[in-house]
Structure 1
Amino acid sequence: MTASTTTINFRATTDFRDLIDRAATAQGKTRTDFIMAASEAEAQRVLLDRAFFQLDEAQMQAFQAVLDQPIDQNAAVNRLLAKKAPWDQ
């Protein structure tokens, strides 16, 4: 594990802090380690949810039909490709 290089501060109620402390103790972690692990897991879940999705068979067929359309007939793709990439702005 690498050394921490920045600080994150936030205010919470005493009840919330006590809840976190009880959960951290139950897992044998410090408050900081518990909060960091929970925050990291949630952040990864949120970002993964934007990159990975599951479809049933009917949804997959509909999705594949859209992908199979020629790009010049897909207005949504044309709008997307007309935008400047965020890293190019």
Structure 2
Amino acid sequence: MATKTAPINMRVEPSVRSIIDAAANLLKVDRTVFIQTAALREAHEIIANQRDFLLEDKAFAAFEEALDAPAEVNEGMVDLLSRKSPWE
């Protein structure tokens, strides 16, 4: 069974297209493959940077200590979450 594809259309300045085409030609791929590969690589990096992070040992110990500490009660949140919803 064939995989469906979804179009992504974009307009760029001719100079941008020329640079993209030159880079794609150097890698011996077409423009679509080049743009897909570059965009996917960037997307993965952005997602990883939001999810994964590294800490030095001292900073990691402080991070773990903060996670293990009991949660502080926020009276404003307690009040808000105990109220009846406007639609109820």
Calculate the TM-score normalised by the size of structure 2. Answer: 0.75
Calculate the TM-score normalised by the size of structure 1. Answer: 0.74
Amino acid at match of 1:26: L
* Structure 2 CA distance for aligned equivalents of residues 23 and 74 of structure 1: 55
* Structure 2 CA distance for aligned equivalents of residues 18 and 47 of structure 1: 29
Equivalent runs, 1:1-89 vs 2, <5 Å: 3-71=3-71, 73=72
Q: Over aligned residues, Cα RMSD in angstroms?
A: 2.2
Structure with more of its chain in helix, by fraction: 1
**How many equivalent residue pairs?**
76
Structure 1: which 5+ runs fail to align? 83-89
Query: Which one has more relative contact order, counting CA pairs under 8 Å at least 6 apart?
Result: 2
Percent of matched pairs sharing the same residue? 30
Runs of 4+ aligned structure 1 residues displaced above 6 Å come to none
* Structure 2 CA distance for aligned equivalents of residues 50 and 56 of structure 1: 18
Higher Rg: 2
